[in-house]
Amino acid sequence: MGRRPQPDIADRLLDACTDFALSQGLPERLEPLVAATGTSSRMLLYHFGSRDDLLRAILRRARHRQVTHFKAWMQRRPDEHYLTTLATAWASMTGPEGQPYVRMFTQLRENAEQTLWPGFRRIATTDWLEPLEDGLRSVGLTGSATLVLAVMRGLLMDLDAMADTARTDRAFRDFLALLDATLRPADEAR
């Protein structure tokens, strides 16, 4: 009779592997994950099946963390203009807390084969549309979520490629100023 699965151990191992992958990137081999968890490759394979299954689990865990953080940052707040919320969300996404996710998922999105997460590109788009639509609707920018998401994703990819925070931050502030300018005529007409 074999050992029974121990979900609490698997969960701790997965958290340690996810922390490692967010700070160092997805490894090509198991050895870095073995070192990060203080266990053996045999134990990782026992709990997760294969290297690719472990990498998929890491990606799912990291994505869950990212969605939790990013949605909270983009959530409409009743006491704050939504463009201010977006400016704060941008600073969080591009800051130390958000950068590991941007790096990891930009790398995954650029993987042409999509072997670890087929359909990721679609999920990476649809996850953010709802909170953006809700927030933008609150300031009269209904139907602008796709535009805002495209600008944010493009600037995040630019930041990842060029590491020029000042330039991408300035571009995002300029974009928010353009959105704000489109709101002023509507506000003045009231």
The predicted model scores a pTM of 0.83
As a whole number of angstroms, the distance between CA 111 and CA 19 comes to 21
Pick among 3.90.1300.10, 1.10.357.10, 3.40.50.2300, 1.20.140.10: CATH of 7-189? 1.10.357.10
What pLDDT, on the 0 to 100 scale, is given for residue 1? 45
Q: Scanning the structure block, which residue is given the tokens 């359909």?
A: 119
What pLDDT, on the 0 to 100 scale, is given for residue 17? 97
Give domain limits for the chain: 7-189
Sites in the chain below the pLDDT cut of 70: 1-5, 109-114, 185-190
CA-wise closest residue to 168 among 85, 95, 73, 68: 95
Q: What is the pLDDT of residues 66-77, one digit of tens each?
A: 999 999 999 999
As a whole number of angstroms, the distance between CA 81 and CA 136 comes to 10
CA-wise closest residue to 12 among 49, 57, 53, 51: 57
